[in-house]
Chain A
């Protein structure tokens, strides 16, 4: 695997294997999603009637494109329930992302202040929850937040409340779930951005008369901006499409688009509508996804 030329056919193979895999199993499926989204739903197995078929000749395609079924998109765009679900996903994901930043920033900052020989262990501790099952971590919060859950039990026995607080099956529970699950994704980029900073900059600022607070706002935060942006994107993008958290911690009135997609697909068996929801969700995430991709791709240029 040297830098020299004779291995170029080997290199081609090394590149082709993962590239073909991702083209086949990641990119190609989106073509299918679009195809099904433009189909009519039907009571058959599989439950849709394709309008486009890849075996049609080009001449037939022209006619068919004119008669494509946009009825699923019409339905999704004009149905108030979907619009509400899109908006509420964006709102909940945005609030949860900001809360995650507010918790992760001081934590990552304190981690960089720890003695050098602690830091590797602290980073490990911050990542480890990501390795334990997502479902288990959500289950833990069901245990804590239910009316007869551990938090209410503790508060009641301390005499701080007389009636159990209803926290479970609310938007608050969903926000807690998102913050808790995605916290490691925010801590890591923040930590690596903060750790790289030269402490001499802060000393220089204080020598020049800046208060610690001013030095923090003028030096620490601006230098951490790439880490902040990375963390925001890593939390926000998947949180918008989250299914498990709103399903297990949210109430029946907690609308999130990942949940709508799931119930269209699994409960209503309406594949075209589920596909249209997926296409529109992707469209919604296009701008943050592009910023994320640009940051990752240019950030890792060898």
Chain B
């Protein structure tokens, strides 16, 4: 058995990544379709992007989604980083299993269950549903993803650097600022972006936890998709894909700049 890529492996890679990317590429391509029928090519046009700008309801929903995502990602990053430290650095404290279980469960729990459970809690507590209840829902999911990402960084991290700083007389707070924080910052940024996109993307939890006047973008897109294909959905999808693509590119460049020797 030889190492390296054979043409068989290359074919598998091409097929696999083709399966993942061709459908997304087609959504983007057909957003520039002049025809009103999505699957009939009628020449190149950017008219659907123009008509997006006139769609008040969609713009309103986009603004709600962006604000929710910012708030949820910020909260998730703080709470998730704390959770990562507790899991990675605090040894076997009492209730560690419960805590770890709580951090990992939302990653796989069906969203309809999380959404319904949260809604019933909010109703039970007599809280008005709206902006902040969606933020709470998304933060619960986001903090778990941030915890996983930051924990992975912490576990591959040379503690000798921190010890050296302390041996040289740095206080724990100074050590944290000068050594620990710069080393985990790329992971925190990646976690922030992940929590942001998860929130921006979530439809199920938002549907349960939103109230009047706080319709999010995915809720709007969903109700349009149910009515049928329209080129406008392709256009808004393309914008979202571009947005995420740029964010991912920025994250990977930052990661490379900040941690050139992390692999060692």
Contacts and interface: CB of A to CB of B under 8 A. Distances in A.
Contact of B23 (A11, A114, A180): A180
A85 interface: no
Given A110-B9, A111-B13, A297-B101, A278 B116 contact: yes
- Interface SS of A by simple majority: helix
Contacts of A222: none
A241 interface: yes
Nearest to A235: B108
A133 B80 contact: no
Contacts of A238: 108-111
B113 A140 contact: no
A140 B26 contact: yes
B175 A183 contact: no
Contacts of B105: 26, 289, 293
B203 A14 contact: no
Given A7-B172, A233-B108, A115 B5 contact: yes
Max chain B CB contacts within 10 Å: which of A6, A135, A183, A301? A135
Interface string B17-59: 1011101101100100000011100000000000000000000
A281 B113 contact: yes
A240 interface: yes
B241 A113 contact: no
B214 interface: no
B251 to A, nearest CB: 10
B64 to A, nearest CB: 16
Max chain B CB contacts within 10 Å: which of A11, A199, A234, A240? A11
A4 B92 CA distance: 15
B203 A135 contact: yes
A92 to B, nearest CB: 13
A137 interface: yes
Interface of A: 1-4, 6-7, 11, 14-15, 17-19, 21-23, 25-30, 32-33, 35-36, 46, 103, 106-107, 109-111, 113-115, 122, 124-126, 128-129, 131-144, 146, 148-150, 153, 180, 183-184, 199, 202-203, 206, 212, 215, 233-234, 237-238, 240-244, 248, 258, 261-262, 265-266, 271, 274-275, 278, 281-282, 285, 289, 292-293, 296-297, 300-302
9 contacts: A21-B139, A32-B120, A140-B23, A148-B37, A183-B19, A183-B20, A199-B3, A234-B107, A243-B112
| 8 A-B pairs with least C-beta separation | A241-B110, A29-B117, A140-B23, A107-B16, A18-B83, A29-B121, A110-B9, A22-B102
